[in-house]
Structure 1
């Protein structure tokens, strides 16, 4: 009789489902230098998250005030809100209204 393996959880999206299926098909192999690979991945993550550029941005008083209100509602600094909006727009997850 074939043993049925129950999954610990259901995948949250298509990408996660594909990853789980790939692992189950044994398509992954261990890396030889795991410590070196971890260091490279951690450095890449640090560099990705580093906020090292400052910009000056001119806004109308009304837009500035509305951004501050939204930031307070979200419980984050208004600079973080602006950065998040720019990041989402550049990655395609925030699109302009048509």
Structure 2
């Protein structure tokens, strides 16, 4: 892995050449651009937050989930969270 070549796109090559030739000039962000990036970062971070919620399962479904999570060696809440996440990102489809 250490000897694998690094492939740069055109923009990266241009930037590297400017830096190596001493031609690169820093272009500071305007206050409006800085604020926009900060707002985007806060929004992105907020999407990673976890919120407590309540959901009701049938006793039998919860028993099956708990048994399967025990077989896998993870907590049942983590299993449920992973299932919901995989559904949300499209890795799991529900069959009708």
Aligned to 1:24: 9
CA distance in 2, matches of 1:72, 1:46: 31
Change (3 A) 1:56 1:97: closer
Query: CA offset at residue 94 of structure 1?
Result: 0.6
Matched, 1:94 2:79: no
Change (3 A) 1:47 1:57: same
The Cα offsets for residues 3-56 of structure 1, whole Å up to 9 and x where unpaired, read as: xxx525xxxxxxxxxxx6xx52216989844x8747853x34432221114122
Structure label with greater radius of gyration: 2
Structure 2 residue runs of 5 or longer lacking an equivalent are: 16-25
| Residues 40-51 of structure 1: pairs in structure 2 closer than 5 A | 40-41=40-41, 43-51=42-50
Q: Over aligned residues, Cα RMSD in angstroms?
A: 3.6
Aligned to 1:74: 72
Aligned to 2:81: 83
CA distance in 2, matches of 1:68, 1:53: 19
Aligned to 1:16: none
Change (3 A) 1:84 1:32: farther
Aligned to 2:22: none
